[in-house]
Structure formats: structure tokens, C-alpha cells
Amino acid sequence: MENNRGFLCFCLGCAVGAVASVLLAPKSGPETVEYLSRKANEGTDYVKQRAADARDVVTGAVEHGRRAVRYQTENLRAAVDAGEAAYKKAQEATP
């Protein structure tokens, strides 16, 4: 019985809220629909812009990572080449 009473109060609250929103709405139905549609489109554009910004940031970070790896690879290759040259020079100098 208590559960049914809670559900009845919930339904009554929903009905009162619906009636109050219709009576207290500052604009007519078509104006409200147009306003909500415009706001939804603005929200969609905002999300698209933020997604594009995030994509740009990620692309920049990936490119930065690639440059860093390339730089470190070149440094490692130069160090290995220098080590090989030093080893060969030491081998030639050893009697």
C-alpha cells in the first residue's frame, strides 16, 4: 500500500509540473520549439567544435611524439656509428 501511495504522489507531481509548465511558459508552443531547436543546434555545433579541437591537440601530440622518436633514433644511430668508428680506430692502433 505504501509503495502505491508513493507512485500516486509521483504521478500527481508529474501532472502538476506539466500543467504549471504549460501555464507559466513565457512563449507559445511554436516559439518554444524553435528556441529549443536553435539551442540544440548550438549545442551540437559546440560539441563538434570541441571534438575538432581535441582532434587537433591529439594530432599535434602524435606529431610531436614522432619527431621526438625520430630525433632520439638519429642520436642513437650517431652514437652507434661513433662507437663503431672508435672501435675500428682502436683496433687499427693496437699492434
Residue linked to cell 610531436: 64
The reported pLDDT for the residue numbered 33 is 82
Name the domain count of the chain: 1
Query: pLDDT tens for residues 9-43?
Result: 888 998 898 888 777 777 777 887 888 899 899 99
Cβ atoms < 10 Å from Cβ of 78? 10
Distance CA 18, CA 27 (A): 15
Distance CA 57, CA 49 (A): 12
**pTM exceeds 0.85, yes or no:** no
Give residue 12's identity as a one-letter amino acid code.
L
Distance CA 35, CA 38 (A): 5
Query: pLDDT tens for residues 60-73?
Result: 999 999 999 999 99
Q: How confident is the model at residue 3 (pLDDT cuts 50, 70, 90)?
A: low
| Containing structural domain, residue 60 | 2-93
Give mean pLDDT, residues 67-95: 93
